Amino acid sequence: FPMGGGQPCDHGTLLIPSHSLSFQVLDSSNVDGVCVLTAYSQDPEVPADAASLAGQPCKMGVDFDRRMDHMQQHTGQHVISAIALDKFKLDTHSWSLTTTEEPCTVDFKLADEGDLDAALSGDPFKDVEKSTNDHIFAGRSVVPSWLDVEGNEYKETVRSRLLPAGFSGLIRVLDIDQVDKSTCCGTHVSTLSHLTAVKVLKIVKVGKNLARMSFVSGGRTMDFVTKSLLHQNGIAGIVNTPHLEDQVARIQTLSNEKTLNEKKIKTLWEQLTALKAAALSSRADANDGMVVDDLGADVVDKEVYKNLANAVIEKSPGCTVFLISGGLAAGTTFYMQGEPSVVDAAGKEVAGLLGGRGGGKGGNMMGKIPPGDVKHDATVRSMLGEVEDLMKKLKPC
């Protein structure tokens, strides 16, 4: 099957018995009414002149797992679209059959003028899902046929008739018993029982007059249930709450506690920064405006560096601050902030002295010294006096 009707193409294999060659089909497309396959082979016996294979009989094999998945999603979409239109006047604008295990989507719009938000407020797709699964349980037949577009049966019974202007002759029609009868070129299951179940996942507005519904059908439904259970069990272990009905409340509690703790940590950092800045700023006058300090073994982020440097410079305008933290397996990070002329002149020299690299602009620079052993870490920290001397030496006059 070539790509068409919203359905991706088939994959499969080609076997040429006369040459004992096999090919993997990667694409199938409709070119002016001819099905053209794109295939490749890793067989070293493939002749350089591919034209010599022309006319040879071949055996074709369809990747049936892929085909069945596509049929289940496509037929499921037909049923969902028909019920949404019949019951809620939600017309299918477009749809997407994904080629992965991700949910498929259908974009709906109101068949007549009206308020889409109001139409969605009553959760119509809960009803659509139930009705779809009722038809699946009933095992409705799915039968393709060819009808003359000029015939009465086509004109009177076929719902969707999206045909090119001037089209005449036979057209393929899909008849789902007691559900829908519409034109379609795609592949479909022969009975709705092959869908097993359909699950509507969510509905989101994607435009003023469009709502996108995601769903899974057939094998994807069971895959979705399996993954959801795995995720649920994983979450249960993390939050120590085995029962599903209690997990949302537990996660909300943990989230609230996290927010509160983050506020407390922020306040403590602000207090610590103020105390540290007061201590460091006193060094500026005694060290020709240069402040060098080791913040310890824990690697801190740029915001901590920046806030502390800003606080020091606010207390001692014109000074230049150099800070390091971390070490051993994590590596050592460093940060320099101050007058742009000082940072530009001393930044790369200081990074080179410590065996690290860094970069920045506008009077600040951040870099990293690769991780090493205990001796390496101690050596880096013992060189802070040299860093201070180098900064003084390179300070523009």
Using CA atoms, how far residue 187 sits from 140, 284, 349, in Å, is 16, 78, 68
Residue 124 neighbours by CB distance under 10 Å: 21
pLDDT of residue 215: 98
163, 233 contact by CB (below 8 A): no
Read off φ and ψ for residue 262, nearest 5 degrees: -65, -40
The fold for domain 263-394 equals: Diaminopimelate Epimerase; Chain A, domain 1 (3.10.310)
pLDDT, mean of residues 173-179: 96
Q: Which two tokens stand for residue 336?
A: 């320099």
Between β-strands 290-294 and 320-326, what pairing exists: parallel, antiparallel or unpaired?
Answer: parallel
* Top mean-pLDDT range of 16-25, 186-195, 331-340: 186-195
Cα distance between residue 330 and residue 328, in whole Å: 6
Cα distance between residue 94 and residue 337, in whole Å: 55
pLDDT of residue 397: 64
Residue 32 φ/ψ region, left for φ over 0, alpha for ψ in the -120 to 50 degree band, beta for the rest: left
pLDDT digits (tens, 9 = 90+) for 282-318: 888 788 889 999 998 776 788 889 999 999 999 999 9
What is the percentage of the chain residues whose pLDDT exceeds 90? 58
Of 37, 140, 167, the residue nearest 82 (C-alpha): 140
What is the pTM assigned to this prediction? 0.72
pLDDT of residue 35: 86
What is the percentage of the chain residues whose pLDDT exceeds 70? 98
Cα distance between residue 142 and residue 139, in whole Å: 9
pLDDT of residue 248: 92
What are the sequence ranges of the domains in the chain? 12-62, 66-237, 263-394
pLDDT of residue 161: 62
207, 200 contact by CB (below 8 A): no
Which residue has 């016996």 as its token pair?
45
Of 341, 108, 337, 101, the residue nearest 204 (C-alpha): 108
Using CA atoms, how far residue 54 sits from 13, 19, 50, 61, 390, in Å, is 17, 12, 8, 19, 77
pLDDT of residue 128: 97
pLDDT, mean of residues 361-386: 85
CATH superfamily of 66-237: Threonyl-trna Synthetase; Chain A, domain 2 (3.30.980.10)
Instruction: Quote the mean pLDDT of the chain.
Output: 90
pLDDT, mean of residues 111-117: 83
* pLDDT band per the 50, 70, 90 thresholds, residue 320: very high
pLDDT of residue 164: 76
Cα distance between residue 386 and residue 353, in whole Å: 9
Between β-strands 12-16 and 59-62, what pairing exists: parallel, antiparallel or unpaired?
Answer: antiparallel
